Amino acid sequence: MKCTNCGAEIQEGTLFCSECGTKVILPESQAPAANEFAQNGAQDNFQNNFGQPADGAQFQNANFQQSENIYAGVPDPAASVNDGKKGGKGVKKILIPIIILLVLVVAAVGGVVFYLKSRPIEVDLNEYVKVTFDGYDTLGTATVDFDEKKFKKDYGDKIKYHGDDKDMKDESSKKLIAEYLDEAVSLDKTEKLTNGDKVTVKFKYDADALLEDLNIKTTTDGMSFSVKGLEEVPTFDPFEGLEITYSGTAPNAYASLDDTNVNNEYFDESAYWFDYDYEQLQDLSNGDVITITIKYDDTQSDEEYIAYFVETYGAMPTQITKDFTVEGLQVSITTKDQITDDVLSQMQSFLEDEGSIYTKDDIGTSVLDDGSVTISNVEYYGMYIGEPKKDSYYDSVQAYMTYKLTLKYKKEEYSYYFVVEMSDLVLDGEGNLVTEKVSTDYYNYDYLTHDFKDGMTIYGMHGFETTADIEDDVSYYSSYFNFSWVLAGENGSSDSSSSDSSTTETSTDEESTDKEETTDTEETTDTEETSEEESDSASEEASEE
């Protein structure tokens, strides 16, 4: 059997189409059987429910008439849609969108509820964080406090722990959370504060995880407080008026402190005094640094000392230590490299001004009364310089200024070396020779005699025939100095290839025990007169011959 509306197969006994819901209309030949089925089925149902059979009269009274259709009066679901034609398909089209809309509405409502329950709790910790400042200006301190009591009161019932720490899930979780936040909050700067400084509140590193487990959102990080209320204290410079004086020459100068002009009230009351390392005042050179301090306890930090001073005397020193740079010292010449061209020129000028040497101006002058022997040339040869050895008794160089003097008799010439020893050579702060400290000695122990070819003999010259003679004579001091030649035009160099000496540098650590130092080189007037008389006599004899 098929449905009259949609054509779907219908099983026997079915009253409505399972596809479209249309009422099944039976052929007239099958209608009585259907009525009989309905009646018998109703009776069986009645008997099952009430435990007794029903006669025909009773069925009639119960509106179960044999001649009537049991489904009479039931609305036809297909009748209201398209007049019983294609009604099932219309119902489907209407129900599907309605169902989808209902699902979406339910999902949206659920999402809103979930968001409201899971969204972070916004906490303004500004109301619970308090920063206090204490101490003196420039030495102030800051502390931060978290109001646990107020926080627990305001958020104790709202905050729940979602992490894995079991201890935070029990009854004391509210207390633990408040205590943890109190420990986690900190400041970026807590010491050496000045009025007007800024300090910033922040959480310790591991507090982020806790806030996440608590589902708390806060903007407390970055909250700043301005430092104020620190007590102002008077300041003073404890080193004002302190002077350092120097004596001696570098590198062996020494210093002393002069505090006669330090007149602040705290120094007068012996609230402090100057302390220093005594060794710093010895063996000074320009550029050395002397450190003076007013803090006598090395175990005390500068901040601790200042705090102590402020608490005790009500004033703050502006500095605890002060460095004084050594400058302006006169410098002993200890190496040949210190003798620049300019210094050498000053040394030569000093000898010339003192009249210690022959100069170019003496060329052409006679060394004898008859004028037969004259000075034909004077030139600076170089200096044989001794640099003091380490731990030597001497603290400056000894320079043997060597000049080559040429005498002329007729067409014949004779040359020898005239030497002047210079010691105690010192430079001032600007690098100039301090002439008033220079010592000189005519280092010409040999009395020279020379015979010219025509029989003319001249004698009584003080000097050396060769530079090797100079080296040999000076070698007595080789245990105290390292000697080398610095020739004219070679300042700072030990090259002496043009020297007629077989040795250009003499240096030995052996101490001479066979020689005694001879310092008396004064020339007597009688010797000079005798030499002149003998020289005149020799000239007369040569003339007679």
pLDDT at 34: 46
Backbone angles phi and psi of 537, in degrees to 5: -65, -40
- Hunting for tokens 């005790």 — which residue is that? 312
pLDDT at 519: 36
pLDDT at 513: 35
- Residue 176 is which amino acid? L
Q: What is the pTM of this model?
A: 0.49
What ranges do the domains of the chain cover? 121-227, 236-326, 331-490
- Contacts of residues 508-514 at CB distance under 8 Å and 24 or more positions apart, as own/partner, are 508/475, 508/478, 508/479, 509/389, 509/479, 510/478, 510/479, 511/479, 512/475, 512/476, 512/478, 512/479
pLDDT at 150: 84
pLDDT at 55: 47
Q: pLDDT 10s per residue in the chain (545 long)?
A: 788 888 888 777 777 777 777 777 766 555 545 444 444 444 444 344 444 444 444 434 444 444 444 444 444 444 444 444 445 556 666 777 788 788 777 777 766 655 545 556 676 777 788 899 998 888 889 998 888 788 778 776 666 666 666 655 554 555 666 666 677 788 889 988 999 999 998 766 455 555 666 666 665 556 889 999 998 889 999 999 999 999 999 988 999 999 999 999 999 889 999 999 989 999 999 999 999 999 988 888 998 898 899 989 989 999 999 999 999 999 999 999 999 999 999 999 999 998 888 888 999 999 888 889 999 999 999 999 999 998 888 989 999 999 999 999 999 999 999 999 999 999 998 899 999 999 999 876 678 999 998 889 998 888 999 999 999 999 999 999 999 999 998 864 333 333 443 333 333 333 333 333 333 333 333 434 444 444 444 344 333 33
Both structure tokens of 277 = 């390392």
Question: What is the per-residue pLDDT across 391-429, written as a single tens digit (0 to 9) for each?
Answer: 888 989 999 999 999 999 999 999 999 999 999 999 998
pLDDT at 177: 65
Q: What ranges in 336-466 are assigned the alpha helix state H?
A: 341-354
pLDDT at 506: 35
**CB neighbours of residue 355 within 10 Å:** 8
Question: What is the per-residue pLDDT across 182-215, written as a single tens digit (0 to 9) for each?
Answer: 777 888 899 889 999 999 987 664 555 556 666 6
pLDDT at 381: 97
